[in-house]
Structure 1
Amino acid sequence: MYSVVTTKDGSNTLYSNKYNQHYHNIDDGAVFETLSKHVIPAFTFHKNKANLNILDICFGLGYNTLGTIYYIKKNNIKTKLNIYSPELDENLINSLKNFTYPKEFDSLIPIIKQLSKNFHYKDEGIEIKIHLGDAKQYLKNLDIKFDIIYQDAFSSEVNYELWTKEYFQLLYNLSKENTIITTYSIATPVRLSMYEAGFEIYEYIPLKRKQTLAFTSNQNILGKYVDMELKKINNPKAKALYDR
């Protein structure tokens, strides 16, 4: 079901034959993409927090979760992390103990092995819980408010149900007053789905490509505000995505 692919920064990712997509942009690099598009903007927005609840959609190879741990350890950040992540593919998680991760994650191998075996890891500063199963059903049953949400599912062309207005409404209901969502998608229908669910939309260019950041309230720390009402006026044919 998968093929191992080496990305531009030397880190490995997978190509999914089921979804016909790579898990990461091979021209950017798996580590580069994880840090620049997700971890760094999230931790730039949430500085000096004692605790952070993070929702990682979907776990996949675990780069976003592992990149988060790598980043806080490298920068001596003392924030306590509580990471929750749904993942549909149990066999993929089981296989992670044999996946060749980049050197940046060498110190995290014990964590990877624990997650691959038990879908759970905990120490004095970090707890990670992987939920096997449907992401939307998982979100409906959660009773946790999140500070950070990594929206990193396969694209809406192949993973439509994780980009709809109803899906983002679930995320909005699980958000705090200052939650940040990071995502690679800049598609107008996706942004409209987020906006109609209640989020404020911002465009952000970390180093290379544009991306979208969404917040539960207006902020002036990251990105350029996108006026979605004006977008709708200028592009009346553009529509949000809705559950089928």
Structure 2
Amino acid sequence: MIIKTKDNSNTLFSTKYNQHFHDLKTGAINESLMKHVIPALEFHKNKKKLKILDICFGLGYNTFSTINYILENKLNKELQIFSPELDLELIDSLKDFEFPQEFEKISYIIKKLIETKKYKDEKIEIELYIGDAREYIKKLNDIDIVYQDAFSSEVNSELWTVEYFTDIFSATNEEAVVTTYSIASNVRLSLYEAGFEIYENNPTGKRKQTMAVKNKKDIDAKYIDMKLKQTRNKELKALYD
């Protein structure tokens, strides 16, 4: 059943994970832009060619919002987007999904991608992989941006563990950034134990979120000292397979 979110974009409810695909109070488009697209593109504002890993494709909002944002703001960027999705039935159903009016200009991209699972033009290349994200990421390298947007660790723990983030670490380059809505301490510790440094940003002024990088940087975000957190909270544990 299609559900209208606050910004009038539509989302769905997953009966498998018992969660909505997007935060209803934020809105599907706004969530993609505020939690992933804008922070990641600002982080890489000087880089013209970007390789993005979108975990997981779902309804495609992160991928489509990225493309739309770049086109609307006339940013000189070339994109390679890789996105795994386990649910083929979901992807096939998107041919009838009512995407927001904001995506009308890229409807030809959406149509082609849903039909063939691939899209390519002079500046944009997308690969939609149907299968296990854990296996897929092992084949990737030199990724600049990771949208860590799986269902929450409470219901989809396999995409939040140290082992999983270690593979993400291997798939990314030294200047990469991981964006995620999760601020859970055990998720942050899992990222940290996989090799990432943790930062907290608050792009909307209402809700905090997490960014992770491989090396400490002077960025517009608060550094989170995970070693200190462990010292203060002996019960804090990372997530493992």
Q: Give the C-alpha shift of residue 143 in structure 1.
A: 3.7
Q: Spell out, residue by residue over 1:174-208, the C-alpha distance to the aligned partner (whole angstroms, 9 max, x if none).
A: 11111000000000000000000000000110102
Determine the structure 2 residue equivalent to 1:66.
Answer: 64
Determine the structure 2 residue equivalent to 1:39.
Answer: 37
Partner SS state of residue 46, structure 2: coil
Determine the structure 2 residue equivalent to 1:106.
Answer: 104
Q: Give the C-alpha shift of residue 48 in structure 1.
A: 2.7
Aligned mates of 2:130, 2:14 — CA distance in 1: 18
Determine the structure 1 residue equivalent to 2:118.
Answer: 120
Q: Spell out, residue by residue over 1:120-150, the C-alpha distance to the aligned partner (whole angstroms, 9 max, x if none).
A: 001110000011001001112x142100000
Determine the structure 1 residue equivalent to 2:152.
Answer: 155
Question: Aligned partner of 2:162: which letter?
Answer: K
Establish whether residue 199 from structure 1 lines up as the match of residue 196 from structure 2: yes
Establish whether residue 176 from structure 1 lines up as the match of residue 149 from structure 2: no
Establish whether residue 189 from structure 1 lines up as the match of residue 186 from structure 2: yes
1:41–1:222 contact (8 Å) kept in structure 2: no
1:88–1:222 Cα change, 3 Å: same
Equivalent of 2:4, from 3, 6, 20?
6
2:109–2:119 contact (8 Å) kept in structure 1: yes
Identity rate, percent: 57
Q: Spell out, residue by residue over 1:1-37, the C-alpha distance to the aligned partner (whole angstroms, 9 max, x if none).
A: xx21111111101101111000110011001100001
Aligned mates of 1:31, 1:168 — CA distance in 2: 26
2:141–2:170 contact (8 Å) kept in structure 1: no
2:8–2:27 contact (8 Å) kept in structure 1: yes
Aligned mates of 1:159, 1:198 — CA distance in 2: 21
Structure 2 gap segments, 5+ residues each? none
Determine the structure 1 residue equivalent to 2:209.
Answer: 211
Q: Spell out, residue by residue over 1:47-106, the C-alpha distance to the aligned partner (whole angstroms, 9 max, x if none).
A: 131210000000000000000001100110121000000000111111112111111101
Equivalent of 1:52, from 28, 46, 50?
50
Task: Give the alignment's TM-score, normalised by structure 1.
Answer: 0.97
Q: How many residues align?
A: 240
1:93–1:115 contact (8 Å) kept in structure 2: no
2:141–2:173 contact (8 Å) kept in structure 1: no
Determine the structure 2 residue equivalent to 1:233.
Answer: 231
Aligned mates of 2:148, 2:163 — CA distance in 1: 14
Question: Aligned partner of 1:57: which letter?
Answer: I
Q: Which consecutive segments of 4 or more residues in structure 1 shift more than 6 A? A: none
Aligned mates of 2:175, 2:24 — CA distance in 1: 32
Aligned mates of 2:232, 2:123 — CA distance in 1: 48
